[in-house]
Amino acid sequence: MSVMPAMPILVTGGRGAVARGLCALLDAHGVPYRLGSRERGTPDAVHCDLTDPSTFPGALAGVRSVFLYAEASGIDAFVEEAVTAGVEHVVLLSSASVLAPDAAGSPLSASHLAVEQALSASPLRTTLLRPGSFASNAQGWAWSVRSGRPVHLPYPGAYCDPVHEADLAEAAFAVLADPGLAGRAYTLTGPQSLTFATQLAIAGDVLGRSIPFETVSAEQWKSEVQGYIPGPYADALLDFWASSDGLPVEITDSVERLAGHPARTFETWVRDHADAFAA
């Protein structure tokens, strides 16, 4: 049974796609919420910088549920203030990468794992949403697609499980609405395990033009992204792609169980974001 809290829900990460989707759902169902943003002056939002504990009391005052992005640097202070404010339920947008054996030492997962651990050690009821690969990662190819140049892939045969941000927003709404779904961990995937090469083929079909790719070495790819992907993070991505090269990812039905419909396909995601790839 869906029972939304009477007190406002704090939705952090006000500029994130999942947070925006969740707010749209809360608006549509007439559920009060408070949007938190780290950027001062964000319209219709309270200042809530997850790296700045001084912003927590104002953001959490009168709140009983929180949708939380994973930021480890201020999590202990956030937990303390949430408990003081009387928060009862936290829904964390975490990552399936925390399930890896080396999660604590990987830049891909360490922050998410630290936040999960801090929440689990607290009296707060916590629901963990652990998406695998965001379909929106494909926007990293947009410049090449728009310019007509081949997309450079170090591991074109690496598999991932692209999940639509709208499905993540619906999953968050479901666990906020139904106490019976709360307090658990959910691994959320798209409906298919796809290689990068297959994703580009699907995108080409949707956009009506061929999207070529070129296999490059890990070293070349790393040099090309230097400056906007930090070196340790780039290394971790390369290691992850190498480990999934030729190995399909396990798909879950968590999106369907929470959202009430099959997970949206990658084709649907491309249609929804076709403008990002327009020449």
| CATH number of domain containing 21 | 3.40.50.720
The residue segments making up the domain with residue 154 are 132-163+190-250+260-279
The separation between the first and the last C-alpha atoms of the chain, rounded to the nearest angstrom, is 47
123 shares its domain with 239: no
Q: What is the pLDDT along the chain (279 residues), one digit of tens a residue?
A: 455 556 799 999 988 999 999 999 999 999 999 999 988 877 788 999 999 999 999 999 999 999 999 999 999 999 999 999 999 999 999 999 999 999 999 999 999 999 999 999 999 999 999 999 999 999 999 999 999 999 999 999 999 999 999 999 999 999 999 999 999 999 999 999 999 999 999 999 999 999 999 999 999 999 999 988 999 999 999 999 999 999 999 999 999 999 999 999 999 999 999 999 987
Count how many domains the chain has: 2
In a domain, 1, yes or no: no
77 shares its domain with 22: yes
In a domain, 47, yes or no: yes
In a domain, 19, yes or no: yes
Q: pTM score, two decimals?
A: 0.94
In order, the DSSP letters of 24-83 are HHHHHTT--EEEEESSTT-TT-EE--TT-GGGHHHHHTT-SEEEEE---TTHHHHHHHHH
Q: What pLDDT is attached to residue 41?
A: 76
Q: What pLDDT is attached to residue 4?
A: 55
CA dist list (Å): 258 to 31, 73, 177: 18, 30, 11
What is the C-alpha to C-alpha distance for residues 211 and 13, in angstroms, rounded to an integer?
Answer: 33
138 shares its domain with 275: yes
Among 109, 131, 153, where does a domain finish? 131
Q: What pLDDT is attached to residue 1?
A: 46
Closest C-alpha to 65, from 35, 87, 93, 92: 87
Give the pair of three-digit tokens for residue 117: 């651990």
In a domain, 48, yes or no: yes
In a domain, 180, yes or no: no
151 shares its domain with 276: yes
In a domain, 208, yes or no: yes
In a domain, 211, yes or no: yes
Among 84, 116, 131, where does a domain finish? 131
Those residues with Cβ within 8 angstroms of residue 159's Cβ, 6 or more apart along the chain or in another chain: 193, 194, 195, 244, 245, 246, 247, 248, 249
